[in-house]
Structure 1
Amino acid sequence: MRKPEIDYAAVFRALPGMVALLTPDLVYADANDDFLRLAGRTREELLGRYIFDVFPENPNDQAAAGMRETRASMLRVVVTGERDTMALLRYDIEDPERPGRWVEHFWSPVNAPVLGRDGQVVLIVHRVEEVTELIRARGGPGSDSRARVLEAELYTRARELQDVNESLRRAQARDREVALALQEAMLPAPTPLGHHQAAVRYRPAVGTLNVCGDWYDLVDLSADRIAVAVGDVVGHGLAAACVMGQLRSALSAAARVADGPAQALEALGLYARHVDGAESTTVVKAFIDWDTHTITYSSAGHPPPALLSPDDTVTFLDQATDPPLGARPEHVPRPEASTAFTEGATLVLYTDGLIERRTEDIDTGLARLGDALARHGQADPEALADALLADLLPPTGNTDDTALVIIRL
């Protein structure tokens, strides 16, 4: 049997119900026939225009929140790559034939992502169920009165829920500001490393809660040796920031007296057992010795550091990886490995926010990091740090915070 040829553009336009496609910038890319008909707009009035330029909020309704809620839902889809179903929404539409006259509408929207080959959101599918007539329930004796009571009840409950959500959002925003201030105080710029260049970066997550679990640290051990670490606390917000501060300080102190990175992580693991919220923390520690041109490292469940040679070859330091802190009930010595480096090489340590995406295997993220290093690796550390963040983090922000340390060896 011959496989039929399907005109998907024609199928999209004939879909029953209101469906529109928007870019991640919330600009209309297409809309089906039902969307145009029920929204009272032509295709030319929609395509290429920002959604809220086409459908602004009713200026006569001081309590209107439809625009804010719709924007928030769509941006969640862009950031998370996951479908977002909205609650029943009142969003009035201006009559195109009678400017200044706003028609009351009730909608039930769903926003869903369309992912590109790189796993990023390239389109938002905006499906809308028009439920105005159902809410009003016109059609029989007394039904209009009952429907108005139901409508008022639904609208009141929706407003109450919006007020609760807004209060929670503001409280979370305050917590975020405090946590970020604490994070900034505990993650200062690195001290000079002699004639060696270094750059550090911290990028908070876009969500109000998903911040402040990541840290970095650089410690001078002697004239020609330093210790560098990057870690990630499981958890978010103020609690994670506090745990992060305790672990960073403890590891910084342990590095000054330990024989090597493995011993420093062993001491940190014993300390973490007595810190609530420290379990499952991941961290990688490296000692750099310019006298012997060696890097000695140990990892507690953390993504491997990357070593970029002057010939643009990238090697991931993954020969001394052990479970995260607190993963074992008993104390076990941690592994340690060493590798040589040549003058002019670059060492890159980072947290998983730089490479991991929900829809990908971690090897895909590591390969993307390796490619970016090979392209930009000869830049100085400051320029390289900016280039890596630009290449590897989503343009709309990431759902996990990211710490990054780059040292020119």
Structure 2
Amino acid sequence: MCRGAVAAAVLGLWAPSAVAADAEPSYGFAPDARTVPGVAGTAQAVPLTAGRVYRSSLPVSEAVHYRLDLDATSNAYVSATAVPPPDAAVSASDGVRVSVRDGEDHTCSSETETFGGGQSTRPLTAVAERLLNRARQRCATAGTYYAVVERVGTTAPDDAAWDLELAVYSEPALTRPEPTAAPEARSTESATPLTGEEVRRDGGTGFASAVGIGQGVWRTDLTPGQTVFYKVPLGWGERLQATADLAASGAGSRVVVGALELSLHSPVRAVLDGENLNFDGRARSASLDPTPPVAYENRYSSSDEVKGARFGGSYYLAVHLSARMTERFGAGPFAVTLRVRVEGAEQAGPAYGGQFAPRDVFAPVAGVGGASGLPSGGGGADDDDRTMTIVAVSGIGGGTAILAVLGVWTVAVRRRAVP
């Protein structure tokens, strides 16, 4: 969630307008996503299965329902990414809400994400959960639950429906009693952003196509309205810090509020942190606070930034360039540099009694019949080959490709050198 409070207050005065119904979304949906309908009530709700990705539609003024058949031995997470048409007008208070409810319509969890300080349309993700919490026994039993997704904010009758990407995750229980207290407060002091030679790396268009990166300085070019996604593997005990730089582009007559948005998402796509910058033609930077070291007990914190760092696995960085940049500085493209620092010694994970679903976005689970594996690392020949493939398809050429391959392979085998 972006922290531009002043910008949000200003833009909150602007109401959305009608959008074109035939506009094509710019978000890259998972190629294997199954298309399912969202329905107004629970009777005809289509079941969603953990480990799968789905595509659906979110109407203007009606909540849509999906069925979840959950056991009593695992936590469940439902991610909803709303994708408005590219030319939709949105205000600071517009957004999406997702809830998990039991069979009697009691809410187990709910989260709302809004566009906040930017006025540019972009993919927006909210995540709800069903946790096996002894303090909430109603939501800790096996049975039928429902994921409910709805729009929030101001709408008009002729607004277009938003596309939806839904992803469902399952986290197994621990084999030993779990910790029940949040970790002690840790320093959040930011280190100096990384310097060094920039490596060209263009991001993916969605979570499913997020391009793997590790510690380093990564360069791309964005056009106004574009959002790109990267994934960074974090093991248990490691933490991440990221900064996005928007290069100078000549003096402008007016400032673009929320010109660049940088957000960090957990392996279940939940937002941990977000920041934006205003742009007047001079070089600007947006920096996220460093995450805490990844730990199971982070989930008991009251801070979104801390409790989201509860899994080892793929963490996502989303970078969005405001469509309003065109009005002030032209069609671009605009140079963006992403500086990523990964710190901390990787540790053994908690003793899970089963596998995550899906397995390929979480850190390996030891001792339960194989490793789930990080998508861009974790050790072993298969993981190294997968890392090489990610680099090969990222559009890098010449001698730079060799350097990039070596850099990402180093991340894969966890031999990072902190500058």
TM-score (norm 2): 0.21
Task: Give the structure with the larger helix fraction.
Answer: 1
